Amino acid sequence: MKSEEVRFVWMFVFFDLPVGTKAERRWATKFRNFLKDDGFMMLQWSVYARVCRGDDAAGKHDRRVTKNLPPRGSVRTLQVTDRQYARMKLMLCEATFSEKKAPQQLVLL
């Protein structure tokens, strides 16, 4: 596949997990750590995203998320094209350092 034919896809994971008990907090922490270890970056507390090289890679990460689901709560995934992701607007009263700087994604092929 030529580089101009490569289609990058952004995969979002949205979740709402219970944290009322010690075991629930442990599961929520374990899930967030899994997302970070799998290359997702935190956009907001319960919203993570990562870039994938094509639909096959996005499907692979979707299966990984499914495999690591906590026993309770809700988790959703959404895939958007790189072009759609670039149209995202960041609206803040006060931006943090990481939000002022646009994310620089490095893809090693």
- The domain spans of the chain are 3-100
Q: What is the mean pLDDT of each run of 10 residues along the chain (109 residues)?
A: 76 98 97 98 96 95 97 97 92 70 56
**pLDDT recorded at residue 100:** 60
């442990």: which residue's tokens?
Answer: 26
CATH topology of domain 3-100: Alpha-Beta Plaits (3.30.70)
pLDDT at 4: 61
Q: Specify whether the CB–CB gap between 27 and 72 falls below 8 A.
A: yes
Residue type, 32: R
What is the pLDDT, as a whole number, of residue 64?
Answer: 98
